[in-house]
Amino acid sequence: MLLIGLTGSIATGKSTVSSLLSAPPYSLPIIDADILARKVVEPGTPGYNAIVTYFGPTTPDLLLPEPSPGAGKPLNRPVLGRRVFGDSEDRKRDRAVLNRIVHPAIRWEMYSSLLHYYIRGHWAVVLDVPLLFESGLDALCGTVIVVGVHDPAVQMRRLRLRDPHLSDEDAENRVKSQGDVEGKVERAEYRGTQRARGVIVWNDGDKEALEKEVQSAITHISAYSPRWWAWVLLLVPPLGVGVAAWNWAVNYQTKKGWEKKVLQDKARL
């Protein structure tokens, strides 16, 4: 089974690409980190309790009113977002705390879902994660798709249209928190675009243009990871384990090479 990592920055169109991949003719299962992130912090979960314990005493509006008796008070996500998004040291510290609470729970849900889809014999599964590279989950992926835009102004305009309640500062902080799109594109290209280990889907135009980009990307990926290969790996588990280990080793070496390149580039400045 091919694991396709899908990433991009906020408002680049990653969710739209995810929707296209989940619909015919592709019909790929989607493991959405954002959905899992909401699931693991629902009222009553260990993640919810940890967040309330840490952030509650200093964040008066952290919880919303209880929607129905016994349902529990859900997190006020915009308020929590303002607490953790930004470049100040306090926000960076709080964001790190939140990540330590949420990320392990999300990973457990992801691995459970991957096992489920593997057993069912799917050709490929899409792992939709905004911070794919930053979390290190790209090491698990045979292919990484980055959804990008050439003009950052397009990204900011789309974000403000989608979330009009955000101030200019809030919008800018959210864009910064998910990393530079250009940097993610470069990292995907470093993985290797020729053999489809890194694929760029540009979303500078309308939805029709984006659909053509997605079709081209899947055609390219399928050429190097055909459906029959997924069945071979399922029916011969030792081979599947070996291929997974080989893929991880290649990704690990690629990551080390990228980190070395970044250090060399900084040294030249």
**In whole angstroms, how far apart are CA 120 and each of 64, 79, 168, 186, 245?**
39, 40, 45, 34, 21
Q: Quote the CA–CA distance of 123 and 237 in Å, as a whole number.
A: 15
CB under 8 Å to 248, separation ≥6 — which residues?
A: 139, 140
CB within 8 Å of 32: residues ≥ 6 apart: 18, 128
Q: List, for residues 188-236, the tens digit of each pLDDT value.
A: 999 999 889 999 999 998 899 999 999 999 999 999 999 898 888 888 8
End-to-end CA, the chain: 42
| pLDDT tens column, 145-176 | 999 998 877 777 888 788 777 777 777 777 66
For residue 262, the one-letter residue type is: V
pLDDT in tens, 91-134: 999 999 999 999 899 989 999 999 899 888 899 999 999 889 98
pTM (predicted TM-score): 0.84
At residue 156, the 3 state secondary structure works out as helix
H-run or E-run covering 136: none
pLDDT at position 177 is 62
Domain covering 1-29+123-263, topology: Rossmann fold (3.40.50)
Number of H helices, E strands in the chain: 12, 5
State the DSSP H helix or E strand holding residue 8, giving kind and residue range, or none if neither.
strand 2-8
Q: How far apart are CA 55 and CA 97, in angstroms?
A: 10
How far is it, in rounded angstroms, from Cα 163 to Cα 25? 30
Domain ranges of the chain: 1-29+123-263, 43-121
